[in-house]
Amino acid sequence: MKTILLAAAAAALSSVALVPAAMAQVANDENTLAIAAILDNNSFDRAQLMIANQMQFWQPVLDTLLIAKPDGTVEPNLATEWSYNGDNSVLTLKLREGVSFTDGTPFDGEAVKANLEYLKNGAGQNSFMAALISEVEVISPTEVALHLSEPDPTLIDNLTVVGGAMASPVTLGVEAFANNPVGSGPYVFDDQNSVLGRQYVYNRNADYWNAEAYPYDRITITPINDQVARLNALKSGQVDAGLGEARAVVDAEANGLVVHKSDVNWLGFIIADREGKIAPALADVRVRKALNMAFDTASILKFVELGHGRLSDQIFPTVSEAYLPELDEVYAFDPAAAKALLAEAGFAEGFNLKLPDIATFANFNPIVEQQLKDIGVTVTWEKVAPNATIPELRSGKFPAYVFQFGYQGSWAEYRKFGYPDAPWNTSKVADPAFIEMLDKTQYATGDQQLTGYQDLNRYMVENAFYAPWYRRDTIYLTNPQTTVEMRGTNAVPHIRDFAKAD
């Protein structure tokens, strides 16, 4: 039965409608990097910028204060130097001289102040990246000091992405520039040849200070949300690069495409109600450990993902400071032992669990239902509308659910899941010991902070906050003429990660 269910889920995931590849407004050529995106751009408004799949749309135009290499190393960019004071309450940035936005506005301390304040006060999803900046002090045109209301261990990383993106100050809050960005980056947005929703075109900024880092004269980004259509566009040469999926790998390689992988996302069973407000059984750590032992994760990975992933019992990738190798294999698949733990916790007859029926993960429902039934847990499903998935999950009405999360950095993950007001602590669990560890780690520095990251990770695994299944390989495809370095922190590469093959 288990094998049949897994095979059925895998087959359902592979049934994709054939949709013709989008025709390009500006054709691809050897001096163009043509990218297929799975989502359209949301907005170029500085306060609304996104990471993940939509980051590639703004990166050609809006340069960042700092940059991160694919291995996570942070390097200078618009800010040439940075340093904290003794208690990490002030971050001072030295700014690159002689840089201007393409509308002629100078890049200086006032421009940094305007951008950070606009981000913080905006209603965008990533406004949190500037939330702890209480004041931007302009010391001189080439130096600013960011005063923090409390230490922010993610601030440096945030300044390499949305937190550090710099738009011309005259565009901030002006509606017209939500579709026509002006920055100081390596490319200029071509509003004459771009068709919103169809193709976005960027031409080289002739005055960019670091042109050698960007080998293409033009970049085009074409939203193609269907996997088959993206693959067809790659095979035909309409585009050079785009996201794939596990079931496209064989076809892609047979057609001469290059397959790149990174484990940005983890998939698993989220045990949200750890205080037992809805499902009392989940308050017992023995029950949560039993749930970790209930799932045959190796078979799920093999049949559903065709092996494109890595089994792990922790939510952190190997690139994270919080990662500990010994936490990859803590809970073996063992239904008999899981049943024994349930009996020890007083649930020998099992218990009931209401789970959301989420369209994106519905293929896993038969697997979840059967494997939980095997240890005595009875599942009932409640349908969730696709456009209401996130609000429904975050409402706290479900004690557990299957979901996938990306990785934005060690401290960012703790802020995402740990505190009672964290956006993905959906049941608002307040674990006093865990919160004390979080607070201590936030204010720590150096090796003490790194130790704190790892101690928190160990606590989460040992107390079975979740039942992670595996880290899913993100599949990215390019033609042989295009090379790319993959990242463990974003679903798609940064624009600067692409190069022409030798």
- For residue range 142-188, list pLDDT tens digits in order: 999 999 999 999 999 999 999 999 999 999 999 999 999 999 999 99
Does residue 6 have a pLDDT over 90? no
With cut-offs at 50, 70 and 90, classify the pLDDT of residue 83.
Answer: very high
Does residue 208 have a pLDDT over 80? yes
**Segment 99-118 mean pLDDT:** 98
Residue pair 294/377 in contact by the 8 Å Cβ criterion? yes
Half-sphere exposure of 139 (CA within 13 A, CB side): 12
Nearest to 152 by CA among 125, 134, 136: 134
Find the Cα–Cα–Cα–Cα dihedral 44, 47, 48, 49, rounded to 10°.
60
Does residue 278 have a pLDDT over 50? yes
Return the pLDDT at 21: 41
* Rounded CA separation 186/179 (Å): 18
Return the pLDDT at 453: 97
Residue pair 340/334 in contact by the 8 Å Cβ criterion? no
Residue pair 214/495 in contact by the 8 Å Cβ criterion? yes
314 or 225: which leads in pLDDT: 314
Nearest to 490 by CA among 157, 178, 246: 157
DSSP secondary structure string for all residues of 321-345: TT--GGGSSSS---HHHHHHHHHHT
**Segment 97-125 mean pLDDT:** 96
Task: Supply φ then ψ for residue 95, to 5 degrees.
Answer: -105, 150
With cut-offs at 50, 70 and 90, classify the pLDDT of residue 406.
Answer: confident
Domain boundaries, the chain: 2-12+263-473, 32-223
* Rounded CA separation 115/168 (Å): 8
**Segment 88-101 mean pLDDT:** 97
CA distances to 99, 160, 378, 443, 449 from 145, in Å: 19, 17, 56, 19, 23
**Domain 2-12+263-473 of CATH type 3.20.20.410:** no
Kindly state the tokens that stand for 268: 């698993």
What percentage of the chain carries pLDDT values higher than 90?
A: 83
| Displacement of CA 232 from its chain's centroid (Å) | 26
* Rounded CA separation 266/407 (Å): 8
* Rounded CA separation 310/307 (Å): 8
- For residue range 328-352, list pLDDT tens digits in order: 999 999 999 999 999 999 999 999 9
Find the Cα–Cα–Cα–Cα dihedral 58, 64, 70, 72, rounded to 10°.
-140
**Dihedral of alpha carbons 263, 264, 267, 272, sign:** positive
- For residue range 292-318, list pLDDT tens digits in order: 999 999 999 999 999 999 999 999 999
Q: What homologous superfamily does CATH list for 32-223?
A: Periplasmic binding protein-like II (3.40.190.10)
* Rounded CA separation 39/35 (Å): 12
Return the SS3 of 10.
helix
Kindly state the tokens that stand for 475: 């599949």
Half-sphere exposure of 459 (CA within 13 A, CB side): 16
- For residue range 485-496, list pLDDT tens digits in order: 998 888 899 999
Return the pLDDT at 445: 87
Return the pLDDT at 64: 98
3-state secondary structure string across 103-126: CCCECCHHHHHHHHHHHHHCCCCC
Kindly state the tokens that stand for 92: 């001072």
Does residue 7 have a pLDDT over 60? no
Does residue 419 have a pLDDT over 70? yes
Return the SS3 of 259.
strand
Return the pLDDT at 14: 42
Q: Is 23 exposed, middle or buried (0-12, 13-18, 19+ CB in 10 A)?
A: exposed
Task: Supply φ then ψ for residue 302, to 5 degrees.
Answer: -65, -45
491 or 242: which leads in pLDDT: 242
Return the pLDDT at 81: 98
Kindly state the tokens that stand for 69: 């290499």
3-state secondary structure string across 69-82: CCCCCEEECCEEEE
- For residue range 9-56, list pLDDT tens digits in order: 444 444 333 333 445 578 899 999 999 999 899 999 999 999 888 999
Nearest to 198 by CA among 225, 237, 231, 234: 225
Task: Supply φ then ψ for residue 99, to 5 degrees.
Answer: -100, 140
Residue pair 161/176 in contact by the 8 Å Cβ criterion? no
With cut-offs at 50, 70 and 90, classify the pLDDT of residue 465.
Answer: very high
Kindly state the tokens that stand for 197: 């929703």
Kindly state the tokens that stand for 196: 């919103």
Can you point out the beta strands (E) in 132-255?
133-140, 143-148, 187-189, 200-204, 218-223, 241-243
* Rounded CA separation 90/247 (Å): 48
Q: Which residues pair with 67 in a beta bridge?
A: 75
- For residue range 439-457, list pLDDT tens digits in order: 999 999 889 999 999 999 9
Phi-psi region of 98 (alpha: psi -120 to 50; beta: other; left: phi over 0): left
Does residue 196 have a pLDDT over 50? yes
Q: What is the CA radius of gyration of the chain?
A: 24
Residue pair 62/126 in contact by the 8 Å Cβ criterion? no
Return the pLDDT at 3: 46
Residue pair 163/115 in contact by the 8 Å Cβ criterion? no
* Rounded CA separation 79/70 (Å): 19
Return the pLDDT at 23: 52
In the 8-state DSSP scheme, what is residue 24?
A: P
Tell me how far apart the terminal alpha carbons of the chain are, to the nearest angstrom: 50
Return the pLDDT at 24: 57
